[in-house]
Amino acid sequence: MKEYISEAIRNIAFVGHGGSGKTTLSEIILYTAKEINRIGKIEDGNTVSDYTPNEIDKQISISSSLMNVEWNNTKINIIDAPGFSDFIGDVKSALKVCDTAVIVVKSAEGIEVGTDAAKSVIDEYKLPSSIIINKADSEHSTFFDTYEEIKERIHPGATVITFPVSEGIHFNSIVDVISMKNYTYGEAGSRNVTESEIPGNLKEQADNFRTQLIEKVAEYSEDLMNKYFENGSLSDDELKKGIKASIINGNLVPVFALSSTKAIGINNFLDFVSNYFPSPADRGTVSAKLANKNEPVLVKVDPNGEPVLFVFKTISEQHVGELSLFKLISGKVSPGLDLLNENNNKTERLNQLFTLNGHNRKDISQVVAGDIAAVVKLKDTHTNNTIASKNYSVIVDPIEFPDPVIRGAIKAKAKGDEDKIATGLHTLHEEDPSFNVKFDPEISQTIISGQGELQLMLAVKRLKDRYGVEVDLVEPRIPYRETIKAVANDVEYKHKQYGHIHIKMEPLPRGKGFEFVNAIVGGVVPGRFIPAVEKGVIETMTKGVLAGNQVVDVKVTLFDGTYHTVDSDEMSFKIAASQGFKKGFLEAKPVLLEPIYEIEVKVPEEYMGDVMGDISSKRGKILGMDSDGRFQVIKALVPLAELYKYSSNLRSLTQGRGVHKRKFDHYEEMPKEIEQKVIEEYKKSREEEN
């Protein structure tokens, strides 16, 4: 396998809305660069990057896929990231290790919800970017309208590098404003490209786009601006250096016209990538922290430095084990090298190193700083871990995966499958950390959560396909709370065995929990039985009285009682306390409390009325609204019971353009009619169990 220096590596990620053609684009690039000898199709299930059974079945990218080609003696690593919003975690991990983001937009449809989502991650990472306007061969292609929309909504520095000679069904040629030539492409698969002069009717348009490019590049430095004003242009060398620098500092966002299905514009795009996109060395440094000190440090992309590698994705393959995809930030690594996992202080040996094209692996003998590769069978290393030399203890800033917006409960169909289910769910979380799993002891359910309904449904399917276990995905129970609103001054309970108590019960302010007061005087209840009374109260509070939910914010005072020298024991007083608590609880105006979540909903303005009406129908209280560009951000408080599958509901209300975040806010008393319904459902379920 050929070895490359850091300056000869380009790391790019294709991101954007689902169906914009990212996977087809990856496929045609692999073919054009002679990495593969036939062009796969999504509908045939034989593309390099969408190779898992679920991707083939659903004909969408579910997981990001790593590929690479050589072009002009440059190694181009390509990550094809999913476009569906359920898999935004993979978009974040792909962009974390890339040096240029490539947003793929459909020429006819323009900017869609996935475009906005990708842009927000690019902005978060402050990444250099470029844009491909794909499907310029579609019947309704509107390249120039889409370009204007991009300048307005994505980036004012968007600048045309290639544009179609004639778009639509006759699209087969582009004009390149760098070389100022016309390029005509043969049939897809022919790899034929013919260079010619720009047609006379397009010369003025090409000149205008080239002038825009030069002006944008000249903005990068005062020196270039002065040369441009003096000479009316820039030399080829000045333009080349200026283009790369302008991309790095975010001033320039190159725009390309393409058809991924017809392979039109591919060669020009790859030429530009190899000539002008920044290498990892051009980007310079990566943010990290010194291990154990939490002090920020910048790790230089230096092949002569100490090895530092960052694991950005984990793939679990049967018969192979875990494959860790990593970017080498610094140094060089080879098989057999021992490094330290800086996150858990465990030593890892790099066994086989691979370069990947989808699931096809090639052994490599060395990886150099800036390159992306894979290593198999690390023992204790996971996504977001940094492995480094023992001489240079740093932890690369982790990928911040989005908080879950949907949750569901897992219910095993067969007894005895619990261990397999737990193992499977753990592996799925390792592969996609935006998918979360936890057992909630309060509601006695295993809860899975993530970014959307499809993500959760696929997790269930993978459990069956990979581990042979079947589960149902059901609505999670709501962790209600129970409390009291009045004082029960003297609650007496006598257990005949023998334990006799008098307790006072009173409400505490919200959030204060539980307080137990021993006010026994004169030993009427011996001191050795007091802990049993408290234990009986606490155990009952855990199980609940009204509807099987935890009791909160109650003060219990034990102030009187009697005992029998022979018959009394701890258990008798524990039972007396438990029964006495239940009796007093029902006398003290008991109520159910429900969890209230604060949600933040981001929607285009035209959907605001529908979304606010929907929030109100869910017993929500609007807290306020803010503007965010073309979007409106609505903040509201909504009961958790009303938020089941809200992400799917929001998507259908907003044609997929609405997104939301949620976080727990507080507990509050629920309406009586809903409380009664919850209590009745609980009683009914208890009867069915018995």
- Classify residue 8 by its DSSP letter: G
Q: The tokens of 439 are what?
A: 């057992």
Say how far apart CA 537 and CA 574 lie, in whole Å.
8
- Whether the CB-CB separation of 150 and 105 falls below 8 Å is answered with yes
Say how far apart CA 401 and CA 84 lie, in whole Å.
16
pTM of the model: 0.89
Quickly list DSSP for 88-154. Answer: HHHHHHHHHH-SEEEEEEETTTBS-HHHHHHHHHHHHHT--EEEEEE-TTSTT--HHHHHHHHHHHT
Torsion of CA 545, 551, 553, 558, to 10 degrees: 60
Question: Which listed CATH number (3.40.50.2300, 3.40.50.300, 3.30.360.10, 1.10.10.60) goes with 7-280?
Answer: 3.40.50.300
Taking the domains of the chain in order of start, what are their residue ranges? 7-280, 285-396, 406-474, 481-588, 593-673
Query: What is the structure's pLDDT at 569?
Result: 95
Identity at 423, one-letter amino acid code: T
Cα–chain center distance at 301: 26
* Residues in Cβ contact with 156 at an 8 Å cutoff, skipping those fewer than 6 apart: none
- Whether the CB-CB separation of 90 and 81 falls below 8 Å is answered with yes
Across the chain, which distance is largest between two alpha carbons, in Å? 112
Class of domain 593-673: alpha beta
Question: Which listed CATH number (1.10.10.10, 1.10.287.110, 3.30.413.10, 3.30.230.10) goes with 481-588?
Answer: 3.30.230.10
Say how far apart CA 73 and CA 62 lie, in whole Å.
31
* List of the chain residues with pLDDT < 70: 1, 318-320, 690
- Whether the CB-CB separation of 83 and 119 falls below 8 Å is answered with no
Say how far apart CA 556 and CA 541 lie, in whole Å.
11
Say how far apart CA 64 and CA 121 lie, in whole Å.
15
Quickly list DSSP for 208-242. Answer: HHHHHHHHHHHTT-HHHHHHHHHHSS--HHHHHHH
Q: What kind of architecture, by CATH, is found in domain 406-474? A: 2-Layer Sandwich (3.30)
The domain 285-396: what is its CATH number?
A: 2.40.30.10
Domains 7-280 and 285-396 share a fold: no
Query: What is the structure's pLDDT at 416?
Result: 85
